[in-house]
Amino acid sequence: MVTGGAGFLGSHLCERLLRDGCDVLAVDNFYSGTKDNVAHFMGDPHFELLRHDVTFPLYVEVDEIYNLACPASPIHYQRDPVQTTKTSVHGAINMLGLAKRTKAKILQASTSEVYGDPEIHPQTEDYWGHVNPIGIRSCYDEGKRCAETLFFDYYRQHGLQIKVIRIFNTYGPRMHPNDGRVVSNFIVQALRGEDITIYGDGLQTRSFCYVNDLIDGFVRMMNSPDEVTGPVNMGNPNEFTIKELAETVLEMVGGHSKLVFKPLPSDDPKQRQPNIAAAKATLGWEPSVQLRAGLHDTIEYFRKFLQV
């Protein structure tokens, strides 16, 4: 079962699991995902799509749960912040209750946002984070932190088999053109010849992982020995400023877009880079797709999708 299965990452994960020979149940309420993301395997008899909101109980029989349900882009998770916290917290309780009853293994898609605006760099899993509890990003950051707490309490109290991964910025085909995250925004703007909107001075950094690399990490984590619970960082350690990203996208797309500077949203982290030593050591995982190669495929996807 993949919650958030009609989203960007969820749809790629469903596709990979179907390819591996699994029966896949995708659960989604279509808050930020769409049926279009899974349309091309809707006819597969090994795939089922269920419209359901994980903040409500769910009784199904499954043996592995990938819990991805939660809007990931700031503009989407801030549109209904109360629902975002409910999705993370009530959703985690329900999915953990389901895992407890069915004795399923359960993997949580956590996030680098648990580190907040980090004071140590790069971030390792033992860093507890620097998070504002009452800001506009808190519904997501604190919701995901509480979900991690619940995972580890169900592990200690009820002996559940848990797997927690902390995902750093990931991009690729099938992001929604209105997703609002930086890579899709810049590509869509460049393809349409619109201004490229850099928030702040563009010197803040992020590290960008291509979706296929991350999906491989998901499956390796689920298949890891029982004692591997995480949390494990997953992302590409190559770090870029947002301005560098804008320049690279513009150079690759071509065209005449201008770089324009807009106000920086509050609590926007200044830097972010994963330390992935734990994923390398325990899972033998590291990303192999570098930024330009991943951008190339993503640009081609959007060119076709937008017909430009």
**Under a CB-based contact definition with an 8 Å cutoff, are residues 169 and 112 in contact?**
yes
Site for ligand NAD (CB under 6 A): which residue of 25, 32, 49, 231?
32
How far apart are the C-alpha atoms of 2 and 67, rounded to whole Å? 6
The reply on whether position 93 binds ligand UDP by CB under 6 A is: yes
Residue nearest to ligand UDP as judged by C-beta position:
97
* Binding of residue 8 to ligand NAD (CB under 6 A): yes
155 to 194, contacts with ligand UDP by CB under 6 A? 169, 181-182, 185
Q: What is the DSSP letter of 184?
A: H
Residue choice 197, 241, 271, 282 for contact with ligand UDP (CB under 6 A): 197
Among 17, 25, 31, 151, binds ligand NAD (CB under 6 A): 31
Select from 119-127, 197-205, 279-287, 289-297 the region that touches ligand UDP (CB under 6 A). Answer: 197-205
> Of the candidates 188, 186, 211, which has an alpha carbon nearest to the alpha carbon of residue 196?
186
Name the phi and psi angles at 240, rounded to 5: -135, 150
| Catalytic residue (one of 77, 140, 154, 210) | 140
The Cα 233–Cα 285 span in angstroms is 11
Contact pattern from residue 155 through residue 184 relative to ligand NAD, giving x for each residue in contact according to CB under 6 A and a dash for the rest: ------------x-xx--------------
The one-letter code for the residue type at 170 is T
How does DSSP assign 11-42, residue by residue?
HHHHHHHHHTT--EEEEE--SS--GGGGGGGT
Instruction: Please work out the total of residues on this chain that contact ligand UDP, with binding judged by CB under 6 A.
Output: 23
140 is catalytic: yes
Instruction: Please provide the size of the chain in residues.
Output: 308
Give the span between the Cα atoms of 217 and 215, in whole angstroms: 5
111 binds ligand NAD (CB under 6 A): yes
Residues found near ligand UDP in the complex (CB under 6 A) = 57-59, 73-74, 93-94, 97-98, 100-101, 169, 181-182, 185, 197-199, 204, 206, 242, 265, 268
